[in-house]
Amino acid sequence: MQLDSHDHRALGERLDLFHFAPEAPGMVYWHPRGWAAYRALEEEVRRRLRREGFEEVRTPQLMRREVWERSGHWDQFPEGLFTLGDAALKPVNCPGHLALAARRSLSWRDLPLRYAELGLVHRDEPSGALHGLFRLRQFTQDDGHILLPEESVAAEVERFLDSLAGFYRRVGFDEIGYAFSTRPAARAGSDAQWDRAEAALRAALGDREHALQPGEGAFYGPKIELVLRDRLGRRWQCGTIQLDLVLPERFGVRYADGRGARGAPAMLHRAMLGSLERFFGILLEHHAGRLPGWLAPEQVVVLPVSDAALPWAREVHQRLVDAGLRARLDDRPESLAKRIREAHALCLPHVAVVGEREQRDRRVSLRDHGRDALPLDGAIAAMRRACAP
């Protein structure tokens, strides 16, 4: 199949990031360059989770049928489960997080309780629906779950929406929309629970303009989705926050309120990106392969002009690595012009050229930083600023 040059699958091959193969349908082979970029995205998610007070956890990949019956997935999502006898690979992370919370004796002082997991999940998508990084059978969700009193929901959701919109703008998406999905026909919980959940999310939306999606909520609760418009005018649902008044009760999570009563807390299911793989593919197409500096697989390549400059080139490369930059030394016996062309073809943010003059003066010439060579410390500071998330 011939792919458009801006298709993320073609970009993945051309930039040596990842590939797909028939023996692993709906799963990714990450190459070293692609994995470096993926890990940079993952670390940015982790940084934001830490800042927001989440505790990162890890839960089992395979759980018995009774877990999925209790959550509702065995009945509501049977076609999407990879089953192994009387168990299933997890399609979501929330039952594991609820199992952790249920072990604790919670009071109102412990809330909000925030668990996060960059959890590998599996969904048995039809082969005809698979589409590169956009639709996979194995992918990673940046899942966060917040247990909190019901009266705190609207303020928590509003903070999430504001914070996530700011992140999207920083990675190049200026147009952000919102969609509000209400109760589906097949659902868990009472009408009274759904009335309260939908009212809380409407309050959190405030005066934000949004599309209404009747019947498109999760089976356990309504949701707000953030929708991004890319440079080609396409719209992508990415971040989401869902209010769940059902599953904490089903999994036996209780807390004591300030009046001495015990009851189930509300739970927010939230994700910045949804699937990390899918968001990476969206970014790749949106930026036509030229990813922001903080996400670039390699942030700088060091090119010695000649063998005589090689000792300084090696020292420069090591200093860049020590400074936390993803750097590579290209000392192949090719012409400088060819190596520069290849670096640009790989969409590297920075190309550092060092010759005998730079070696003598202990400087570096950055191709994107004008004609004058910079002292090494200054060059490193400039690149670190340009590559900051």
Q: State the catalytic residues.
A: 94, 123, 141, 143, 145, 223, 269
Three-class SS state of 177 = strand
C-alpha neighbours within 13 Å on the C-beta side of residue 4: 6
Quick check: 33 and 297 in contact, CB under 8 A? Answer: yes
CA distance 55 to 243: 20
Distance of CA 192 to the CA centre of its chain: 34
- How far apart, in Å, are the Cα atoms of 280 and each of 133, 240, 287? 8, 17, 11
| Selection from 331, 320, 354 nearest residue 363 by Cα | 354
Residue type, 340: I
Instruction: Count Cβ atoms within 10 A of the Cβ of residue 74 and give its class: 0-12 exposed, 13-18 middle, 19 or more buried.
Output: middle
As given in the structure block, the two tokens for residue 190 are: 């009472």
As given in the structure block, the two tokens for residue 194 are: 């759904």
Distance of CA 263 to the CA centre of its chain: 33
